[in-house]
Structure 1
Amino acid sequence: MASALSRHWQLKAGLTFLNHGSFGATPTLVLEAQRAWRDRLEADPVKFFVEDHEGAMDATRRALGEFLSCAWDGFALLPNASIAVATVFANHALHAGDEVLMTSHEYPACQNSARRAAAMRGASVVVAKLPFPVANEQQVIEAIMGSVTSKTKLAMLSHVTSPTGLVLPVEKLVPMLHARGVATLIDGAHAPGMVHVDLGKLAPTYYTANCHKWICSPKGSAFLYVDAARREGFRPLALSNNAEKPKAGRAQFLTEFDYVGTQDYTAIYAIPDAIAAMRAMQPGGWPAVMKHNHELAIRGRDVVCKRLGIEPAAPDAMLGSIVSMILPGHDAQRHARVMARETKYHDALQDRLLHMHGIQVPVWGVAGLTMRICRISAQVYNSIDEYERLAGALEGELGYERGL
């Protein structure tokens, strides 16, 4: 059974939803706010885009600036972090012989953008192999900094890794990389709303995140924060009419990113509503929400690990509110048979958990490794009973696989 707070969401009755991390889930109150924005726009689309759109975008920038402790005018508001990463690679200078550094736990779409940009410019991508399981953050720091060379010009690092759920020590890595002359692109897709983020203090070259994940805004709402020294000449992937219409007293960076063509911007307008709605979910506001979700994720992990007889793959201090567990393995031949099963997801086990047990949770792996990972999420609408249910389902399904 989900928690009492699940009444604020529209998740299907009877579904055990333990995958907030993939696309998020938006509270009904925030969806209603988005609908109000859409109704206002549709009442007179021309007037809205000409007279109201810029103010709505700036209101979102100001809300994010307050939430993330940074200047509001450094935000480019975009549909998702993947587009933000592609935008950085389209703007950041790379030359033949340069190196782009990333880790083995980066999100595949971001890896694709890095490889394409490097190939187009004669640069190369260097992959720092992160351990998993991991014992401490020093292992991560050594793996990343040990991969820096005199040719490294840009490091793309996740704040929270997608496949493995590790909170990387970016507050230590960013200044270390900058001291070596390496610009930083932090993919914080999962971070804001999961862990405390102070962009003013962190001071990366670029930072992007999806607001539709842990801030719980509507789908298609994200940001890219660009350091002040890099904003002049930093441009969107697509240039709208705004590109040739500078506005007096307004930075061209804001003008061009305000409007990149006709699309539904209402998810972006609703980000401040999501920040406020989620703040109200716990008496202690956002710090209490993050603490609750972290503690529930750890409790859920412990329930599953105990049931399956496995050990945690990372220390609690390196986790937020998503946790990846390494499932018990099979011998090589059985593993091949198990992985050959048809699936609409990454692993047929995920299909079976959903369609036979009503549990939505990802089962996947890390590139280059044969281990299978189950990643749980914890949001205020979840309860510990749901992880007990998952533990029982996994135990039964793994037993079934041993008979294949």
Structure 2
Amino acid sequence: MTAWLLDPEVLHLNHGSFGATPAAVLDAQNSIRERIEANPTRFFLEGEYQEALDEARRAVAQFVGADEGGTVFVTNATAGVNSVLRSLEPALLPGDEILVTDHEYNACANAAVVSASRASAVVTTAQVPFPLEHQRDVVDAVLAAVTDRTRILLIDAVTSATGLVLPVVELAAELEPDVQVLVDAAHAPGMIDFDVAQSGASYVTANCHKWMCSAKGAAFLWVRPDRRDGLYPAVISHGYNGGWPSEGGHLHAQFDWTGTHDPSAWLTVPHALAAVEAMHPGGWPGVKAAIREMCLGGRDVLIEALGIAPPAPADMIGAIASVPLPPADNSGSAIFDPLMAALRERHGIEVPVFTWPAPPDRVLRISAHLYNRPSDYDRLAEALAAELR
């Protein structure tokens, strides 16, 4: 793990939550910060910032199949979701519906609830089964929940707790343009093949600090050309009245400057893409194939150890995968099961155990990245056997 700063005394199987940043990328971030601090006025006001930002944007857009004009940086995917929902609130009428699934990331589901309440709209929930047998189970569940009042579908490209790659392209094809599809693709870029412009969605937001391995605090939002004019950041700033001129059009003017902050995480994205690409002889295609193969192998180890059937087909798995655990009396934990702490404290393993969908049910989610090895999952299976007996 010399390319990473991860503690070698801990088995890290939770890349999915916060990512991990290669040491070389952190070195690049430090250099960027030194450049900023050498003369902040010059950097921000004399064009250095905008030039560096445009370069980073270009790298992101090329990596995810987006156009630069529709791509802006945000601090995380949750900020991207909030920006879209806040922008759409004025168009919602009382009784209109924002549809989510019961696998939706809690923070973004909360954003939907608040935006709906401001417009006297409602949030409805599609019940997607887990375990499940086919991607069509997701499509059927979501479409069954759509009504003539559904205006927005907020859906994950890869679910957080359950680790499922969802058929967002199929759903967008069924629903757009009557229902605006907002894809929370927090995990997708760098984990699976995911082309933003080909998704068919109105909006896609995703993190760069997870599978793309940038410094933390970097994410992007892409907006389809026909949806751009009315889209604003959650924080309104100088660009609203032209106070931050940008040659990149409406979105860039609104999002490129929302106040003084440390943009170094955004500017590390090209460094991260290059650093991870160099870690595998097959480049990024090789990285994605390798970590998916390792994840599927790790899932097989856990399935055998737990004596359960695969909870989802292999074509719905990227580099995170969840397995159901035996129910437990975990009613005192709102999100994380106490088993998570036991695995950390007694076995030195960082892996999330979620209370999902509600106590006493729970799932354990593994991740795989290039710093992991197949033997990591054997060690986890042994620890689980000791804790569950």
TM-score by length of structure 2 reads 0.96
> Corresponding residue for 1:205?
202
Quote the offset at 1:212 in angstroms.
0.4
Gap regions ≥5 residues in structure 1 = 1-5, 330-334, 400-404
Show CA shifts across 1:237-292 (max 9, x none). 22223433263744132022111111111000001111111111111111111110
**Partner Cα separation in structure 2 for residue 102 and residue 252 of structure 1:** 28
Show CA shifts across 1:159-209 (max 9, x none). 000010000011211111116x10000000000000011112113100000
3-state SS of the aligned residue for 1:215? coil
Cα distance, 1:260–1:300 mapped onto 2, change above 3 Å: same
1:54 equivalent in alignment to 2:44:
no
Show CA shifts across 1:308-354 (max 9, x none). 2222211111100000001133xxxxx33xx257x797111100100
**Partner Cα separation in structure 2 for residue 236 and residue 61 of structure 1:** 17
Written as runs of structure 1 = structure 2, the 5 A alignment for 1:125-204 is 125-178=123-176, 181-204=178-201
CA RMSD of aligned residues (A): 1.5
Say how many residue pairs are matched. 385
Further displaced range: 197-206 or 248-257 = 248-257
Q: Which runs of 4+ in 1 moved over 6 A?
A: none
**Partner Cα separation in structure 2 for residue 263 and residue 171 of structure 1:** 35
Show CA shifts across 1:60-115 (max 9, x none). 11111111112111112011011111111110121211111110000000000001
3-state SS of the aligned residue for 1:367? coil
Gap regions ≥5 residues in structure 2 = none
Q: Is the 8 A contact 1:344 1:351 kept in 2?
A: no
Written as runs of structure 1 = structure 2, the 5 A alignment for 1:260-299 is 260-299=258-297
> Corresponding residue for 2:114?
116
Q: Which one-letter code corresponds to 2:119 in the other structure?
A: R
Q: Which one-letter code corresponds to 1:76 in the other structure?
A: V
> Corresponding residue for 2:70?
74
Q: Is the 8 A contact 1:310 1:328 kept in 2?
A: no
Quote the offset at 1:394 in angstroms.
0.5
Written as runs of structure 1 = structure 2, the 5 A alignment for 1:320-399 is 320-329=318-327, 335-336=328-329, 339=330, 346-368=336-358, 370-399=360-389
**Partner Cα separation in structure 1 for residue 208 and residue 138 of structure 2:** 26
**Partner Cα separation in structure 2 for residue 355 and residue 370 of structure 1:** 22
Show CA shifts across 1:121-162 (max 9, x none). 111111000000010011110000111111111000000000
> Corresponding residue for 1:332?
none
3-state SS of the aligned residue for 2:94? coil
Quote the offset at 1:120 in angstroms.
1.0
Q: Is the 8 A contact 2:334 2:355 kept in 1?
A: no
Show CA shifts across 1:202-221 (max 9, x none). 13100000110000001110
TM-score by length of structure 1 reads 0.92
Q: Which one-letter code corresponds to 1:261 in the other structure?
A: G
**Partner Cα separation in structure 2 for residue 282 and residue 9 of structure 1:** 15
**Partner Cα separation in structure 2 for residue 233 and residue 86 of structure 1:** 14
